[in-house]
Structure 1
Amino acid sequence: MEGRAAAPGAGTVLNALANGSGSAFAIDARTTATVELDDSGSVTGEIAGAPDADTRLIERCVELVCARHGDGVADGGHVRTESAVPMAAGLKSSSAAANATVLATLDALDRAPADALPDAERAHADAPTRAAACRLGVEAARDAGVTVTGAFDDASASMLGGVTVTDNTKDTLLTHETLPTAWRALVWTPEERAFSADADVARCERIAPVADLVRDLALDGDYARAMTVNGFAFCAALGFPADPAVEALPDAAGASLSGTGPSFVAVGTDGALDPVAARWQEREGRTRRLALDTAGGMVAR
């Protein structure tokens, strides 16, 4: 019983730490999970290239899927992930890993959602929706203690593709759309890492009035201005210098600190992002230009 699936990382429009509302958009950097199920009663995990990394999240994803959809045929196994999304960089690596693992486990059980399967394949009658599969990953993230908010905003963007706006306090999807097709994402990631579970939530909650404004902009479809306001507000709340966002403007349509950092992400057309890329490439770290992802989490063959 083996399954394989992939899901993309994402960039931030609105960080949900301030008011419980969040928004994110999927980017073309993917995590792939391979799951082998058995009846051993225990789940082990590994992350390619990171032998000492914490695997509780992906193991918990397998456990939850088997408990909810396994019908007693499997209660153990092994999961391995490999990723183009750097860990603890604000690019939703945990959400991508959780979504990929959940889908891979469902694939191994022949329960993958219909819209996560290749066109030629038909879903089992009892297969969950991708939204339901996404919520299993969110539940696993809370169980594993790798998220403060539950990250339904990040997880929904990763699972569904495009851009989503959510109420993370209720795991409710408010909006799901696509960004302009001509846009690309530019991502700058320094060498340092920042774990979202370590963020100062109380300090972030102090900027809730600004987050309310960002939420309203996002719900109106003004994602570029929303992410820019979010970026400056959360740089202040989380103690990051806003210089990369300043360097992105006014060329980029929008720019923000992504998640709890340390990455910054900008969106716009290729031509508009060229001068931003030139400035960011002078910084230490890695600058990447990526397509926006509209496919979301998919079973991989």
Structure 2
Amino acid sequence: MEGQAAAPGAGTVLNALATGTGSAFALDIETTAEVTIQIGDGGVEGEIAGQPDADTRLVERCVELAVERWGPSAGLDTSLSDTLNVGGSVRTESEVPTAAGLKSSSAAANATVLATVDALDANDDVEPIDACRLGVEAARDVGVTVTGAFDDASASMLGGVTVTDNTEDELLHREELNRDALVWTPPERAYSADADAERCALVAPMAELVEDLALDGEYGRAMTVNGLAFSAALGFSADPAVAAMPHVDGVSLSGTGPSVVAIGDTEGLAAVAEDWADRPGQLLRTETRNDGGRYL
């Protein structure tokens, strides 16, 4: 049984490390996943295109959990799932750079869960938000996230912008967001699981302000305040964001960095690109996206 799916990366409005409440929006950059399920084959083997030494535990765990959850409705006997009598393979390929704050793990998990659902021919039986929560469970199981990243995962799976309670995996708000976007990714990488959660907790008063702004629909202002607070907490320079502020609706450090994402109109982002182009790293021009995970 074979399945294919894709899910987008995302940018940050509110980092959930301080209070457990987070907010993110989907970007038009994708991760695709191909899943094969084989009966009586022990184990799941993962592969990430172009990264032969990459850690594949997350996508493998997504396949395992999805088969356990929805395999019986597809006629599979998963009673021996602990010994993996149902196995297979998963291969992902991504436009989303890893360890860059652009929700590569959430995109990979969502794409993999949906591809497994597709392989099980259970597309009509699985709600997107349930598939999203299963990917979050897998991320917690393998330790690639501190908060569970339900904010990032929900934005990737549902599209648009979401506000979530990551402590309860509860969706507080979602709406569409239509903006051009510019992403600057410096050469260094930062892994979410390595973030200093205790230091991030110190900026909780600012995070609460960002939450209020986000719930009021002031996403640009919210992400700008978030970016200043968490750049300081996580040790990143705020210079790229400050340079962008006069020209955009909002700009923030994305996730735990190091990428910085700005949203606005084409003219304003062109002015920002002139400044950011002089900094080491890569620029990506894209846009926000209101559709999320999809079957291929």
TM-score (norm 2): 0.95
**Alignment partner of 1:244 is 2:233:** no
Residue 197 of structure 1 is matched in structure 2 by 193
Deviation string, structure 1 residues 230-273 (Cα, Å, up to 9, x no partner): 00000000000001101111101100000000000000011111
1:1-301 mapped onto 2 (5 Å cutoff): 1-39=1-39, 40-71=41-72, 72-73=76-77, 75-112=86-123, 123=124, 127-179=125-177, 181=178, 183-300=179-296
Q: Secondary structure at the match of 1:16?
A: coil
Q: Secondary structure at the match of 2:50?
A: coil
Give the number of equivalent residue pairs. Answer: 285
* Counterpart Cα distance in 2 of 1:132 and 1:38: 24
* Counterpart Cα distance in 2 of 1:295 and 1:166: 18
* Counterpart Cα distance in 2 of 1:155 and 1:10: 9
* % identity of equivalent residues: 67
Deviation string, structure 1 residues 157-209 (Cα, Å, up to 9, x no partner): 00000000000000000000012x3x211000011100000000000001111
Deviation string, structure 1 residues 11-66 (Cα, Å, up to 9, x no partner): 00000000000000000000000000012131010000100010000000000000
Q: Secondary structure at the match of 1:250?
A: helix
**C-alpha RMSD of the superposition:** 0.8
* Counterpart Cα distance in 2 of 1:41 and 1:78: 10
Q: Secondary structure at the match of 2:242?
A: helix
Q: Which amino acid aligns with 2:142?
A: A
* Counterpart Cα distance in 1 of 2:240 and 2:15: 18
Residue 81 of structure 2 is matched in structure 1 by none
Q: Secondary structure at the match of 1:46?
A: strand
* Counterpart Cα distance in 2 of 1:217 and 1:89: 25
Q: Which amino acid aligns with 1:63?
A: E
* Counterpart Cα distance in 1 of 2:191 and 2:216: 30
* Counterpart Cα distance in 1 of 2:57 and 2:30: 20
Q: Secondary structure at the match of 2:228?
A: helix
Deviation string, structure 1 residues 127-147 (Cα, Å, up to 9, x no partner): 121000000000000001000
Q: CA deviation at 1:73?
A: 5.0
Q: Which amino acid aligns with 2:60?
A: E
Q: Secondary structure at the match of 1:249?
A: helix
* Counterpart Cα distance in 1 of 2:246 and 2:113: 40
Decide whether aligned partners of structure 1 residues 171 and 155 sit closer, same or farther in structure 2, where only a CA change above 3 A counts. same
Where does structure 1 lack aligned partners over 5 or more consecutive residues?
113-122
Q: Which amino acid aligns with 1:134?
A: C
* Counterpart Cα distance in 2 of 1:295 and 1:223: 18
Q: Which amino acid aligns with 1:265?
A: V
